[in-house]
Structure 1
Amino acid sequence: MSAKTIAIACDHGGIEMKDLLVKDLTASGWSVLDLGTDGPDSVDYPDFALKMAEALKDGRVQRGVLLCGTGIGISIAANRFAHVRAALVHDAFGARMCRGHNDANVLVMGGRTTGPEVARDCLKIFLETEFEGGRHARRVAKLS
């Protein structure tokens, strides 16, 4: 898949936000690899963090978005994989810093704790912000 492909996954707590962000991404020219879930029935967030980790590891995508009710559980699950740098963000500053300083490859938000306009702003910033490298590269290298 191209560099303009992004994966997105959620549990039942993030389904409404996922649907909103998929529409925005598609309208902006992104190809979206939708890893589920597809409805409001209760599911387990670690299963979707695993799907994201696999998509990153096998190169189908370079970046992703994960959502659950608060973002906490799915970010914990995703960060169990050495090649995943999942950052739970709540605002534009966090979205900018997670990319610029931490080279995060997965944006995480809470479907029940983050408003739709804030989520849209965070996603836009996450996609537009490049990793600064420099002094941050040494630190990021220690994460894996």
Structure 2
Amino acid sequence: MKTGIILLAHGSRLPEAQATLQDLKELVARDGSYDLVEGASLQFNQPDLPAALATMSAMGMKKVVVVPLFLSQGVHMKKDIPEILARERTRYPHMDIVMTGHIGAHQKLAEIIIERIQEVNEGHGII
């Protein structure tokens, strides 16, 4: 089954945010387990989620996994994203569109936080 991944960020008016999403997209794509990996933004940037799903459909994906890059279970996770996905599922009945949970509190995230703290303590962090 052709499977696509959409990494869904909040979006930002700053171009650096898009660069980070692009970097994450490349890291996930490098794994090689998925047919297509795309980035999308909920607000401010293109492609947005509907545009990314249109790309997935055009590329023949049968399953699409939307991965929200959100730390907490806020309004976007509980309301906004599910509403968009419900609307888009009617548009693409040939695709199984599913959403993962949010990033949340995870040991690997804690390790990154600790690493960032150590960088600052060693004089290598951003001031």
TM-score, reference length from structure 2: 0.42
TM-score, reference length from structure 1: 0.39
